[in-house]
Chain A
Amino acid sequence: MFPTATETSFQEKVDQDLNIEPKDHMPENYRLHLIRQISQHAHSEVIGMQPEGNWITRAPSLRAKQILLAKIQDEGGHGLYLYSAAETLGISREEMIEQLHSGKAKYSNIFNYPSLTWADIGAIGWLVDGAAIVNQVSLQRTSYGPYARAMVRICKEESFHQRQGYEIMAKMMKGIPAQREMAQDAMNRWWWPALMMFGPHDSDSPHSGNAFKWKIKRKSNDELRQRFIDKTVPQAELIGLAIPDKDLKWNEAKQGYDHGEINWAEFKQVISGNGPCNKQRMAHHVKYHEEGAWVREAGAAYSKQIQENK
């Protein structure tokens, strides 16, 4: 099939690193790819509030509690920036929520793991947000304008998230043996799921072809994963945490770490709904969405009333 004239001008713009804006011509599959990716990203921000929300009432100090509240509020904000970006592609907020609840739209697998101890809050900020930042920094140059702009804003805010997580881990590693054990235990449980956040190996990545051609994606899953590992390992060593990977070693030739094999069977299990918290996360979202319906209805009724009284 030969490309049509509008497809050519779309691809020309992309090739020249010009952003695509909402009213520009775009191939239907570009639009659908972005809706899938941006809405999944938005849902991840919102669902990601749950494992952290689990610790608000049990934060070990007022300082820690204020920080955690601010961080969770940021995550909600990030979800809203991204929902807005997706809406410019012609999908409504209602449809996106509906797709989340029906299981048609996914969210990041990482949030299907439980936050069992306070150290998990440290590990989530440091490792999970750390992995997300590596991905999001690269997405600041994605070809779709509204998505790229949301990423710029999000990246500015995320670095606080990662630093607060690392601070928690560093503090615990300076504490009593029980605290150090707790930190190491969190590290052991979150390291591999964090590596899985970058998705399948490049050789096994189903959505990559067009994503690169259209410059939605700028760096491959394996490139981003490598970048995350290379910056995180020295941070772990600095505070005395061990990386739970016996095959991890520095590779002088590639100037990066080699890592052990990722358990993709576990990844597939969790992504297909059998992770420790899948059902709980979704039930929680559905419950509060439904219980909040009266607020949205009251808002709509009020808006109607003030328009009629004009």
Chain B
Amino acid sequence: MANDTQLDLWEVFIQSRAGNHHIHAGSVHASDRQMALQNARDIYTRRNEGSSIWVVPAKYVTASNPDDADMFFDPANDKIYRHPTFYVMPEGAKQI
């Protein structure tokens, strides 16, 4: 079988209803963006799971490296003053 292409890989993000985030649902194979959208609709929204779909060529997704996760996410760990619970409120203070 010559040139048995299965077409390009696209990642699919679905918004379940207006106001929600688009969330990764899976992937599809397609030759172009229109086919990717139609395939994503047929594969991931057969039961009203979506009101909007994004498709992104998988080759354009850049992902962080799990090996570097400790180092990469470290700067967030020592800044607990970013959380509201860090602060001492005077006793009796309300609605804050």
Which residues in A have some Cβ–Cβ distance to B below 8 Å?
21, 23-25, 70, 73-74, 77, 80-81, 84, 87, 92-94, 97-98, 149-150, 153, 157, 290, 293, 296-297, 299-300, 302-303, 306
Contacts and interface: CB of A to CB of B under 8 A. Distances in A.
Contacts of A94: 4-6
Contacts of A149: 26
Interface of B: 1, 3-9, 26-32, 35, 42-43, 46-47, 63, 65-67
A24 B30 CA distance: 27
B46 A296 contact: no
Nearest to B24: A149
A67 to B, nearest CB: 13
A93 B27 CA distance: 12
B73 to A, nearest CB: 15
Contact of A24 (B7, B27, B66): B66
Nearest to A23: B66
A297 B29 CA distance: 13
A80 B44 CA distance: 10
Contacts of A81: 26, 43
Contact of B5 (A70, A98, A297): A297
A103 B70 CA distance: 44
A18 to B, nearest CB: 11
A31 to B, nearest CB: 15
Contacts of B43: 77, 80-81
A81 B44 CA distance: 9
Contact of A299 (B4, B28, B35, B63): B35
A299 B31 contact: yes
B7 A300 contact: yes
A156 B67 CA distance: 34
Contact of A93 (B1, B6, B47): B6
Contact of B6 (A70, A150, A157, A296): A296
A310 to B, nearest CB: 12
Contacts of B46: 70, 73-74, 77, 157
A293 B4 contact: yes
Contacts of B8: 303
Contacts of B65: 23
Given A87-B27, A297-B3, 14 more contacts: A23-B65, A70-B46, A74-B46, A77-B42, A84-B26, A93-B6, A290-B1, A296-B6, A296-B7, A299-B30, A299-B32, A300-B31, A303-B8, A303-B32
Contacts of A74: 46
A157 B7 CA distance: 27
A306 B32 contact: yes
Contacts of B31: 296, 299-300, 302-303
Contacts of B67: 25
Nearest to B4: A94
A73 B6 CA distance: 19
A92 B29 CA distance: 11
A73 B44 CA distance: 12
